[in-house]
């Protein structure tokens, strides 16, 4: 008889303006700009390879988002802490150019599904990560600014490990 593989969530990592484990400035992210979050280093110990990710954004009350516009989510990786997917640097920094997204790992897009400012828009999925260091990258491809409130419940990126456990 085969063994079952259980899914037990590990401790989630959160990137947010405030209240998270790492900084990622969503606050007031302008149209057609992007932001890279601070780098997480998994170190050299054994870690999960499978992760669930979730990204949530809110739009500023000054303008109403347009249905079908998108916020794109990427993951920047480094296998050794030195060689990265792009040369934008490390830390909570602006993406220097839309072309810097080309070699990142595309995770998905939050597609605006209603013209509302007080509704969280979110997208999630599963990814396998085999890198020493990672950083989420968010690109606001909409015609609207993200909310300028720093509440940690407004906009954030969450990464939850799901290690394989055979019972």
Q: What is the pLDDT of residue 39?
A: 95
Which residue numbers in the chain have pLDDT < 70?
1, 150-153, 167
Non-local (6+) Cβ contacts of 111 within 8 A are 68, 69, 70, 121, 123
**Contact by Cβ (8 Å): 145, 57:** no
Enumerate domains of the chain plus CATH numbers: 17-162 (2.60.120)
Rounded to two decimals, the pTM is 0.92
**Contact by Cβ (8 Å): 63, 145:** yes
Q: What is the pLDDT of residue 151?
A: 63
Q: What is the pLDDT of residue 61?
A: 81
Structure tokens at 22: 């790492």
C-alpha–C-alpha distance, residues 55 and 14, integer Å: 10
Q: What is the pLDDT of residue 7?
A: 80
**Contact by Cβ (8 Å): 75, 134:** yes
Q: What is the pLDDT of residue 63?
A: 82
């Amino acid at each position: 008889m085969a063994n079952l593989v259980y899914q037990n969530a590990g401790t989630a990592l959160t990137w947010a303006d405030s209240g998270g484990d790492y900084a990622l400035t969503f606050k007031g992210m302008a149209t057609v700009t992007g932001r890279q979050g601070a780098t997480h280093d998994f170190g050299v110990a054994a870690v999960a390879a499978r992760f669930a990710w979730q990204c949530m954004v809110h739009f500023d009350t000054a303008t109403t988002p347009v249905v079908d516009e998108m916020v794109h989510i990427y993951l920047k990786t480094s296998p050794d802490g030195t060689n990265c997917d792009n040369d934008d640097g490390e830390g909570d920094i602006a993406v220097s150019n839309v072309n810097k997204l080309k070699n990142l790992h595309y995770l998905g897009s939050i597609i605006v599904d209603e013209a509302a400012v007080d509704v969280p828009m979110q997208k999630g999925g599963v990814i396998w990560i085999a890198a020493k260091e990672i950083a989420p990258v968010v690109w606001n491809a909409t015609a609207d600014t993200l909310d300028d409130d720093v509440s940690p419940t407004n906009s954030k990126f969450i990464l939850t490990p799901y290690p394989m456990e055979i019972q």
